[in-house]
Structure 1
């Protein structure tokens, strides 16, 4: 199939020296690179447009925070104008890139695809035939066998880990529904500073905004707006100073977090992004996913309870010492359900061995509670 000429919008450079012939494959490659660049710009603009409406209506949601209606209207007008400008820029990009979709449709029709329409690509879709052809040959087959073997081992390991997790009982995280007081916030911030000394935590605008900066190579700076006493919601609103593709994914995860009225939950969640380039997804056990190599940005706090054997005083010390265990995630001690959450009651089966045991050497079962953060790709969490 002969390559199609470059569409209007990509200007070919005029050469002053004549050339014997132009390489068609080189021309096609130049066209594809230009098309990918334009599609990448469209994707970035579209991602920003998804946040435009929440950003635009924010003054209305926090009308009580403005001293006069004029200042509220002025802020709302600026945000609305910015959203309109972004929409115009995106529309212009789509208009300039119409030739890309036409070229893709024509190519699909020439290759026998019925209708020729360009369907939405999904990372879970089967591998196209032209990618399968690349892996043919002796070395390709060998790599395929090794990859299949590794995938099989990873699948077995995931099943084993899932079976172990099924033995645990997930507990509900207590949600903060009331507005946290200044003293509570101050205590939470001080404890967070002591625990995460490598993060820069600063207060601005007379304590109305808290900034948490994660140093490079992550380079994320979160701005947290403290809800005031006159606010209708106790939700902590978070923004980021930059708008790269990775930062948009992170901000989307933080914005949709549960327990949005808890400052401790939010700060602990932000701290987990220190290892964003190292932490793998808890579901697929991979660091990157999809054609754009997305990182696992979703963070969720889990609380689980499981029954473990409690040794006697002669074998394992006092009961208070056995009611605690170390976790591998954050190094914090995990207490029994009764100590960690007074509202959690032990099941009758847990107390039964204690009632039946008359000797001090008998072994009983106690319920231990463990808290840890889990990480997912957006595709794995769906």
Structure 2
């Protein structure tokens, strides 16, 4: 029997579907997509960097507020968590910068290409507020918000205001220190003047004029003893003693003992006179009467001498014409002095200015409208803890 022959049909070549050619890519669209991706990546870097600037204060906050945690274990646990979070943020930022290296390479390449063509890369201006740590960089560039002329005018205005403030500012002058033993005539004149100005104080000599007693009556009730240095003494210092019956007396005596200008009797007597109002004189620094649980009153007294430049009023501004002196019509024909003839007075706290320390505005030869120097002397009061 003849074998059956099976017909084998070989498959022909498979028909390939007709493929349409892909449209060419738009270079501008590709460039835009790349720039958008780069900007997004830079924005993420900026946000991460801003968070890293606060990582250390955030990390050490538990240590700064350690008293608020109930146990040391809680404090350590919170500090460990914040430290771990700061470490993770740093690793994430480093990874982000490493992945975005192509952005900086592209920017550098663009600058090189533009510079080769003689152009300049324009700086992108954002409407978002500039961070405080970038303000100096942005304002220092040519594309800053303010141009050079506006900045120069602003600096000139600041300098003008600074000079005006410096002119109006009081500057402290040095108190002349007495370095030699004062003569008996000088001491006598100082004591007589002190008695006239402070008639409510009892001032007497004891032990043949070697000890001067100054007593402040009640409610202060202080009795100071001042040892007068002799002409042959090695030191010109006036030694003061005071019965220390209370903590307040100790503070007062310590303040007087450590006073500056210890060889000046006038400085010492004026300082003692300031203690008449010790129970109502507040501290010049903290503006408080008492400080602490004890009777810690402001006992430290210091004399200050300041000078200030002021503008002298001109006669025209003050209305100084013929109306300055008006005639009296009562019949005695005596001139009535107007306000222009009144001399300028200086307000002071405490002791006034001596004759040889008169301000310069009393100089009749000074020009009207000129700047004159106003000198003032006044006593300041502090707690011992407020002198530092």
TM-score by length of 2: 0.48
Greater C-alpha radius of gyration: 2
Q: Which has the higher helix share?
A: 1
TM-score by length of 1: 0.49
